[in-house]
Structure 1
Amino acid sequence: MAEYRDTIHSRAAIGGHPLHPMLIHFPVAALTGLLPVDLAYLWTLDEFWWRAGLWLSGVGALGGWVASIFGLIDLVSVRQIRLKITAWCHAILAVMMLSLASLNWVLRYHDEAVSMQYWALYLSAITAALIALAAYLGGRLVYEHAVGVDVER
């Protein structure tokens, strides 16, 4: 027989569906896709890959900050979430990752590919690693702590 635990409902939701997990997919895809795009630029030195990286870093950073607003609403307004160490670790990693992603975009926007290519790759790699850690913790919040899950249905 399945063991049911109390669910933790999101306050930032539409029709009971939490917004934060809905909005993170495009930023995660953009920022993880940035690493192979940077490698493709270093391999080919084709400006297409540099422009693609500029767009991916910008879309990823901006989209991530938008998604983080809804995660922050849940973190500060739902007591059961606020009490979870996993939630705080997820939030701290996400802020670190989005800060690096934003720096990556700003540096790309204001500099030439030739002088920035290795810094861009370095920032993209660290960002991808932080995304993996934050995603793992986000998954634990959903699957182990039932944050935003309706087990009654």
Structure 2
Amino acid sequence: MYSKVTIAGHPVHPMLIGFPVTCYTGTLVGFAVYAANGDQFWLNLAIALNVVGVGSALLAALPGFVDYAFGIPRDSGARTVGMTHGGLNVVALALFAISLGMYVTHWNGPATGVALGLGLSSAGVACTLGAGFLGWQLVQDYHIGIRLTPAQERDELTVQNGDVVGLHRTRSRSDRAA
């Protein structure tokens, strides 16, 4: 297991990522509905979710960075995937932070030019989706943050740069006896 920031043996980064993903998606929905009907509630919802999304993304980034910097072996293909994952998340965070800066002053009044918020949050959600795909690849292919059972370790695939290059299957005594 490569995670360095854990609570009771469970990696913290995956525990926290649900908050920015949900809030970023809600921000996009809020801007879209506000653009469609002009009801101030939806703009305020987008702004509030954006605040929580940016804050929780910063919080989730801390253990993610520690896991990347100190948990993934330097010679692993997971380093490149992790760097791209983090980079996409930083871009998404920047897009949502810019959107927040543009609209936070419109809490008590209508916003003109909501297309900018819609565009920034759409691009931010797209980056978040890409980062999520790569995050899942880190878990699924490279087993970042996973403690394998002895049986899983016996059947561990060797993955280099995203390609399966071998199956390491060692037979236990019970397998050989059968």
Q: Same fold (TM over 0.5)?
A: yes
User: How high is the TM-score relative to the length of structure 2?
Assistant: 0.77
1:36 is displaced (CA, Å) by 1.7
The structure with the greater share of residues assigned to strand is 2
- With over 3 angstroms needed to count, the CA separation of the structure-2 counterparts of 1:82 and 1:14, relative to structure 1, is farther
Q: Does 1:15 align with 2:8?
A: yes
1:82 is displaced (CA, Å) by 7.9
Equivalent residue for 1:99, pick from 71, 90, 94: 94
Contact 2:29 2:46 in 1 (8 A): no
- Which runs of at least 4 in structure 1 moved beyond 6 Å after TM superposition? none
User: How high is the TM-score relative to the length of structure 1?
Assistant: 0.89
Equivalent residue for 2:20, pick from 27, 34, 39: 27
Identity percentage over the alignment? 28
Q: Deviations over 1:46-96 (max 9, x none)?
A: 000000000011100110010001101111112427842100100111111
Give ranges in structure 2 of 5+ residues lacking alignment.
151-178
Partners of 1:24 and 1:103 lie apart in 2 by 20
The structure with the greater share of residues assigned to helix is 1
Give ranges in structure 1 of 5+ residues lacking alignment.
1-7
Partners of 2:29 and 2:45 lie apart in 1 by 11
Deviates more, 1:110-119 or 1:134-143: 110-119
Tell me the matched-pair count. Answer: 146
Deviates more, 1:114-123 or 1:84-93: 114-123
- With over 3 angstroms needed to count, the CA separation of the structure-2 counterparts of 1:40 and 1:81, relative to structure 1, is farther
| RMSD of Structure 2 on Structure 1 (CA) | 1.6
Bigger RCO (CA 8 Å, 6+ sep): 1
Equivalent residue for 1:130, pick from 119, 127, 131: 127
